[in-house]
Structures are given as C-alpha cells and as structure tokens.
Chains A and B, each alone.
Chain A
Amino acid sequence: MRCRRAQRWMVAAVDGELAPRRRRMLEDHVGSCPVCRRDLAGTGEVLERVAGLATQCEVPSRLEQATLRRVQLLAAAEEERSAARGWWAGLRAPALALATAAVAIVAVALTRGAGDRQPITSRALDQHRVAAQAPAREKPRMIASSERRAPKAAENLPVEPPPELAAAPDLFIELPILRNMEKLEHFEAIGTTTLDDGGEQSNG
C-alpha cells in the first residue's frame, strides 16, 4: 500500500467510517511506515480538536421571538389560503352548472330562432327592394354629452328674459362674478384668486 492512499483513508479510519478490509490494510501499512504513523496521529488530533470546538451558543431571546412571530404569520397565511381554497371548491360546482345551463339556454334560443325564420319569398324581396330605393336615413351620430343635457336645461330656462333684465341687459352682463366664472370651476383657484377687479381678496 502506498503512503498517499493511506493518507486518504486516515480521516475515515479515525471516524470509524472505513470498511473493515481497508482498515486492516491501513493498520498494516501504518505499522511499517513511521511517516504515516505520525500522520495518522496528527489527523486524529486535528479532528479531535475540531470536534472539541463549541457546537452550541446562547440564543438571544429576540431570535426566538422573531422566529415564532414569522411562523405565526406563516400559519395564519396558510389557514387563509386553505379557507379560500375551500370556498372556491364549494363554489366551483355550482358555477360550472350555471355556466352549462347558460350555454344550453343560448343554444336552444339560437336553434328555435333559426326554426322560426320565414323562407325568403318574392314578396319579401320586393319589400327589400322598396326599402333600398327609399332615401337613405340620416346616419345616427354621436351626441355630445352637452347636447344631451341641453334639452333638459332648456326646459328650465324661460323663453324670454324677465322684463327688467330685458330693459337693462348691461346690469346683468357687468356682474363681476360672471367675468370670473372660469376661475370658479377650479376649486384650488377659488382660494387663491381675486374674483373682482376692485383689488379685494376672496375669503375662499
């Protein structure tokens, strides 16, 4: 046996993890090789010293508290997840049944609709031709929201201004508040803007 191989087996021999046959071979070699004998003794001492190092230390209470807190949070999250899973599992079967029923209803409705349709006759074709020759109806157009609201506002407004205002329209137009209507639309502007021309500040 060579010294190099003997050295490789020494740690396992010290730890009792060497197969019996190899152990015997190593013992034979060490018995006749003073260098390996010293090496084996050194290996044993080093491993003994390492094993003698402290394997435990004091655990600060904050570590225990922090760990237990994290574990409690984890347990709570797990419970929540399992509860949610149970709720969904309970709901899944009725939801599936409802979806199936809806599909069935739609399918039946489509089938019956197709059955009720009349065959195309020459009269129907004539009606279609007449309709095509009629002047094209005005296309529906998008109605602006202001336009949609307009009739309602118009209903509330009097057709004619009151006689006193009709006689002196300047009184109405020159109201300072009307010149500042745009500013009133912005809430922030109300607090910081002078509304009138007289240099007086608004109180908000």
Chain B
Amino acid sequence: MRPDPAQPAAPPQALPEAGSVPAAAAADPDVALMLRLQAGDEAAFQDLFRKFSPRVLQFARRFVGSDAQAEELAQDVFVQVFRFRHRYRPQSRFSTWLFTIATNLCLNEVRRPERHLRVDIWERRDGEERAEGPPLPDPSAVTPEQGAAARQLERRLEVLVAELPPKQRAALLLSRMDGLAYRDVAEALGSTEGAVKALLFRATQTLKRALREYL
C-alpha cells in the first residue's frame, strides 16, 4: 500500500483495544513511556524524544539527504506521535509504530513532485567535516591505509543507499535499524513480508554490484 503523498502521514491504527496490555509489552520501557504519555504525562514525551530522536533524525537524514529537511521531518514525526498518541496500542513495539510514522513522512517527502533539487549530504565536500557523528569503527583496519579504505567504502555505501529507490531504501534502513523484524518492516511500509524480502533482495543486489570493487 503506497502512502498518498498528498495526505499527511497518519500512523496505523492498531485493531486491539487499549485496555489489554500484553505482558511482554508491559515490560517494555518504551511502551510504559508511551502509556504514560497517553495518560497525560507530558514528561514522558520528553523522555521518548530524547531516547529516539537521534535514531529518527539519522533515519530521516539518510532518507532525504538534507539536514534541514531531516530536522523538519524528525520534528513532524514527534508531533505526530503526540497528536496520535491515543491511537497507539501496546500490541506492537513502540519503535515499530514510531518508525512507521517516520517512514510514511519520509516517503511522502521524497515523492513530493516539487522536490527537484536534492542535496546529497553523504558526498563530502572538500575541506568539510562530517556532521553525522563518529565514523564507522573498523576493527579490521590495522593500518592507516586500511582505515582510509574502510572509510571510503563507508562513504560510497552511504551514497549508494541514498540513491536506492525510496521503498528499497526504507526496507533496508528499517531492517538494519533497531533490529526491526521483517514483520515490523512490513507493518511500517504497509506491505507484506514477502514484499519486504523482495525489496531487500533488489536493494542488496544493487549494492553488491556497485561495491564489487571494494568487496
């Protein structure tokens, strides 16, 4: 099911009633925070924001390729979490619900027809330091040359991931992120596990072909 770019992304409405909280979900601290937020505790929202915003922001940056847009999207994601807090049902993990919202908003953003220009933040410009955070640690890199090669591979990989078709990119990022199972990825994308497998297969094939010289 493709999200309609014209419509604001709405989080999925879980079918079961709110009253019953499964034991596993009740033990999940994120679910507990979300239930507190539903009960009107706005401090719980701050805790959720502080815990998940680094991941949501990074996800959005990889998706839209622009820091400013990623920040706007991350903001929108958390505003949606607050707005639709009463729709959350603890049958699914909070992170699945959160990344469903994030994915829908990101897909809407990249499919907007007026989105002609795309600034690729993954291509480092001359003399510019990465704002993303620490580089990927590479235990196998024992020499400076090997370390440089690993960083080059990492940058190339980031560019390639950013160039994947949106749904393939979403499936790949979600499946690597926060340990989302295929079932959760399918829920976030509004599709089936089979479709997720197909998306991941195509994405991996593209990356393998492009990275042949590095691997």
CB–CB A11/B197 < 8 A? yes
When distances are taken between beta carbons in the complex, the residues of chain A under 8 Å from B158 are 53
The reply to whether the CB of B9 lies closer than 8 angstroms to some CB of chain A is no
CB–CB A15/B74 < 8 A? no
When distances are taken between beta carbons in the complex, the residues of chain B under 8 Å from A12 are 182, 197, 200
User: Could you tell me the distance in whole angstroms from the C-beta of B40 to the nearest C-beta in chain A?
Assistant: 9
User: Which chain A residues (44-72) contact chain B, with CB distance < 8 Å?
Assistant: 45-47, 49-60, 63-64, 66-68, 70-72
| Chain B contact residue count (CB 8 A cutoff) | 48
The reply to whether the CB of B94 lies closer than 8 angstroms to some CB of chain A is no
User: Could you tell me the distance in whole angstroms from the C-beta of B194 to the nearest C-beta in chain A?
Assistant: 10
Interface residues of B, dominant DSSP: helix
Task: For the complex, give the distance between the alpha carbons of A57 and B154 in Å.
Answer: 16
The reply to whether the CB of A80 lies closer than 8 angstroms to some CB of chain B is no
When distances are taken between beta carbons in the complex, the residues of chain B under 8 Å from A8 are 197-198, 201
User: Could you tell me the distance in whole angstroms from the C-beta of A17 to the nearest C-beta in chain B?
Assistant: 5
The reply to whether the CB of B157 lies closer than 8 angstroms to some CB of chain A is yes
User: Which chain A residues (105-140) contact chain B, with CB distance < 8 Å?
Assistant: none
The reply to whether the CB of B191 lies closer than 8 angstroms to some CB of chain A is no
- Which one of B58, B82, B175 contacts A54 once the chains associate, using CB atoms below 8 Å? B58
User: Which residue of chain B has the shortest Cβ distance to A54 in the bound complex?
Assistant: B133
CB–CB A68/B46 < 8 A? yes
User: Could you tell me the distance in whole angstroms from the C-beta of B109 to the nearest C-beta in chain A?
Assistant: 16
Known contacts A49-B154, A57-B54; is A17 also within 8 Å of B78 by CB?
A: no
When distances are taken between beta carbons in the complex, the residues of chain A under 8 Å from B161 are 50, 53
Contact mask for chain B residues 175-204; partner A; CB cutoff 8 A; 1 contact, 0 none? 111100110000000000100011011001
Stretch of B18-26, B100-108, B110-118, B207-215 that contacts chain A: B207-215
CB–CB B153/A71 < 8 A? no
CB–CB A55/B136 < 8 A? no
CB–CB B136/A71 < 8 A? no
CB–CB A17/B181 < 8 A? yes
Known contacts A7-B201, A53-B158; is A59 also within 8 Å of B54 by CB?
A: yes
- Which one of B42, B55, B78, B182 contacts A55 once the chains associate, using CB atoms below 8 Å? B55
The reply to whether the CB of B132 lies closer than 8 angstroms to some CB of chain A is yes
User: Could you tell me the distance in whole angstroms from the C-beta of B116 to the nearest C-beta in chain A?
Assistant: 26
User: Could you tell me the distance in whole angstroms from the C-beta of A9 to the nearest C-beta in chain B?
Assistant: 8
When distances are taken between beta carbons in the complex, the residues of chain A under 8 Å from B49 are 64, 67-68
**Cross-chain pair count, CB within 8 angstroms:** 114
User: Could you tell me the distance in whole angstroms from the C-beta of B47 to the nearest C-beta in chain A?
Assistant: 12
Interface residues of A, dominant DSSP: helix
User: Could you tell me the distance in whole angstroms from the C-beta of B100 to the nearest C-beta in chain A?
Assistant: 17
The reply to whether the CB of B75 lies closer than 8 angstroms to some CB of chain A is yes
The reply to whether the CB of A75 lies closer than 8 angstroms to some CB of chain B is yes
Known contacts A11-B197, A63-B75; is A71 also within 8 Å of B82 by CB?
A: yes
CB–CB A56/B197 < 8 A? no
- Which one of B55, B78, B200 contacts A56 once the chains associate, using CB atoms below 8 Å? B55
The reply to whether the CB of B83 lies closer than 8 angstroms to some CB of chain A is yes
- Which one of B61, B82, B181 contacts A74 once the chains associate, using CB atoms below 8 Å? B82
User: Could you tell me the distance in whole angstroms from the C-beta of A49 to the nearest C-beta in chain B?
Assistant: 6
The reply to whether the CB of B57 lies closer than 8 angstroms to some CB of chain A is yes
CB–CB A74/B182 < 8 A? no
**What would be 23 A-B contacts, judged by CB atoms less than 8 Å apart?**
A8-B197, A10-B204, A11-B200, A11-B204, A47-B176, A49-B153, A49-B154, A53-B136, A53-B157, A53-B158, A54-B132, A56-B133, A57-B58, A57-B61, A58-B131, A63-B57, A64-B53, A67-B49, A67-B74, A67-B75, A71-B42, A71-B82, A75-B42
Give me 4 other A-B pairs in contact (C-beta within 8 A), A57-B61, A64-B49, A66-B75 excluded.
A7-B205, A8-B201, A64-B53, A71-B79
A positions within 8 Å CB-CB of B: 7-8, 10-12, 15, 17, 39, 42-43, 45-47, 49-60, 63-64, 66-68, 70-72, 74-75
CB-CB nearest 3 A-B residue pairs: A56-B54, A57-B58, A51-B176
